[in-house]
Amino acid sequence: MKTFDQLTEREILALAISLEEEDSKIYDSFAQGLRENFPDAAAEFERMREEENGHRHRLLDVYRSRFGDHLPYLRRQDVAGFVTRRPAWLVRPLGLKAARTTAETMETETRNFYAAAARRTTDAGIRQLLGDLVAEETRHAHTAEAMGHSRPGAEESDASAQKRLFVLQVVQPGLAGLMDGSVSTLAPIFAAAFATHNSWETFLVGVAASVGAGISMGFAEALSDDGSLTGRGRPWTRGFVCGVMTTAGGIGHTLPFLITDVRTAIGVAIAVVAVELGIIAWIRNHYMDTPLLAAIFQVVLGGFLVFLTGVLIGMS
């Protein structure tokens, strides 16, 4: 996998063509999924699809004039720094909010890519085209943001942009850490509790598991991308947020084992776990547009399976 800084001008244009082709197909799927219940939004996505196709043709014309007809096969997943997209366009029935949020994120990422590419290219014609595409992708992001709202003003637009940045830079890494810390540490902690029947020893295992997971998740998040294309902010800040939340997620149900009586400690820890999983489900619903019942089911099921694994290992 290459980093963005390793791409040549030829590869930058090839990747841009691939991005526009993928985006136009996604918008076509959004239009199909929204046509019955949200015809106005569907028409808007059809218009955006046509504009993305136009961008692709303009990029192809510039590419052919500069590098010929052979186009390297390069996709967004072949370059470090792009966010993995959840396939919201495959969901039926498709909700307008999910489509709008996905489109906003797509356009923001593509705009950042074009802005970074324009700074790197030395060809005046390519730079002008990329600069024009930055402006057009920005307009698309505003169009996606306005779907479902009546005449949003500048204040609402700024607030939405700030919320989007908050989700990308704080909520996403924090949620990933909280989920990992709250769920993955259940097995070692409850295995230790049922194996040793000793609160202090279980507490030590919980602290070690929580801090270790926090360090691991923090480094993983910091090294995942540099934030230049995704708008996700400084990598080490995201890593710090992710690491702290991972540790906090594990420490929450570790602290009850400061209670001397291990049975009481286990009961309190289980109650804390229930609260933690509820908080995670609420965050997924409030910030990530996951339906509440689906979020509860996913989080509780995963937590229960890990908890059960720890109990069975501890009692064996």
Written as tens digits, the pLDDT of the chain (316 aa) is 788 888 899 999 999 999 999 999 999 999 999 998 889 889 999 999 999 999 999 999 999 999 999 999 998 888 877 766 777 777 677 888 888 888 888 888 888 899 989 998 888 999 999 999 999 988 888 888 777 554 444 444 445 555 666 676 777 888 888 989 999 999 999 999 999 999 999 999 999 999 999 999 999 888 776 666 666 667 888 889 899 999 999 999 999 999 999 999 999 999 999 999 999 888 888 777 677 888 888 888 888 999 999 999 999 8
Q: Which amino acid is at 118?
A: A
CA–CA separation, 239 and 227 (whole Å) = 12
CA–CA separation, 250 and 182 (whole Å) = 5
Residue 100 sits in a domain of what CATH number? Answer: 1.20.1260.10
Are residues 166 and 146 part of one domain? no
Are residues 214 and 168 part of one domain? yes
Please, where are the H alpha helices in the chain? 9-34, 39-67, 96-120, 124-146, 154-166, 172-184, 186-196, 199-222, 235-252, 262-287, 292-315
What's the pLDDT score for residue 46?
94
CA–CA separation, 50 and 75 (whole Å) = 21
Q: Which residues sit opposite 2 in a β-bridge?
A: 79
Are residues 272 and 180 part of one domain? yes
Residue pair 287/178 in contact (Cβ under 8 Å)? The answer is no
Tokens found for residue 72: 């390297």
Are residues 148 and 165 part of one domain? no
Distances (CA, A) of 114 to 16, 58, 117, 163, 274: 8, 14, 5, 23, 44
What's the pLDDT score for residue 58?
95
**DSSP-assigned letter for residue 225:** -
Q: Which of 206, 149, 190, 207 is nearest to 307 (CA)?
A: 190
What's the pLDDT score for residue 159?
55
What's the pLDDT score for residue 155?
43
Tokens found for residue 281: 């489900």
Q: Show which of 103, 129, 152 is a domain's final residue.
A: 152
Q: List the end-to-end C-alpha distance of the chain, in Å, as a whole number.
A: 43
Are residues 293 and 257 part of one domain? yes
Domain containing 300: what range?
156-315
Q: Which of 96, 126, 99 is nearest to 23 (CA)?
A: 99
* 164 three-state secondary structure: helix
Are residues 190 and 299 part of one domain? yes
pTM for the model:
0.64
Are residues 147 and 237 part of one domain? no
Biggest alpha carbon–alpha carbon distance for the chain: 77
- The whole-chain average pLDDT of the chain stands at 86
Are residues 268 and 123 part of one domain? no
Are residues 234 and 85 part of one domain? no
Q: Which residues sit opposite 79 in a β-bridge?
A: 2
Are residues 309 and 178 part of one domain? yes
